[in-house]
Amino acid sequence: MKEELMDRRVRKTRRILRKCLITLLQKKKIQDITVRELADMADINRGTFYLHYKDTFDLLEQIETELMEQINEVLTHHPALELVAKPSLALSELYPLVQENADIISILIGENGDLHFVNRMKQAVYDKCLRDWLDIKCPGDPDSLGAYSAFIVSGCFGAVQYWLENGMKETPQQMAALTEEFILKGIRVLEQA
């Protein structure tokens, strides 16, 4: 029971630190955020912070790693053969994940975001589904497929960024259907070439 209570306290402390970091990242870059500032905002002492993280960069890296694990889980949930006919199967799980984490994702992929994180996400989308999907759908010229896949991945990220920057007016399901339409129309053009 004591261990369960401690785990709950740890989760609560980490949740508060995450929230405070996000608030500070909306105003300044990670390199300008101090542990003292973060600890004061979270109403904890610095020693408590250091029990969980090495520094603010470590906190951000752990948040990014956790987010990447969730994204990879969604991307590996559906085999490529299923996604050939219906990319929205994965997209309808990704958009709610984006919505749940909109605060941190909008910072990470925004103007002052973390390019390394963006590139990791793009590579994960390509590696986990798009590469296999394109190999099944239209085997052929690897250079054209490479260019097309880069276009699709960037377009998907553009759609996510647009959605976040414009207040997520559309539902995750609407965005998944819209993104699927963009992908499928584009793949038909590639198949005809």
Query: pTM of this prediction?
Result: 0.82
- Name the 3-class secondary structure at 54: coil
Q: How many Å apart are CA 87 and CA 162, to the nearest integer?
A: 19
> ∠102-11-13 over CA atoms, to 5°?
90
Name the strand (E) or helix (H) holding 58: helix 56-77
Q: What is the pLDDT along the chain (193 residues), one digit of tens a residue?
A: 455 556 888 899 999 999 999 999 999 999 999 999 999 999 999 999 999 999 999 999 999 999 999 998 988 888 777 777 788 888 999 999 999 999 999 999 987 788 899 999 888 887 766 666 666 655 666 666 677 778 888 888 899 999 999 999 999 999 999 999 888 876 554 444 4
Name the phi and psi angles at 91, rounded to 5. -60, -35
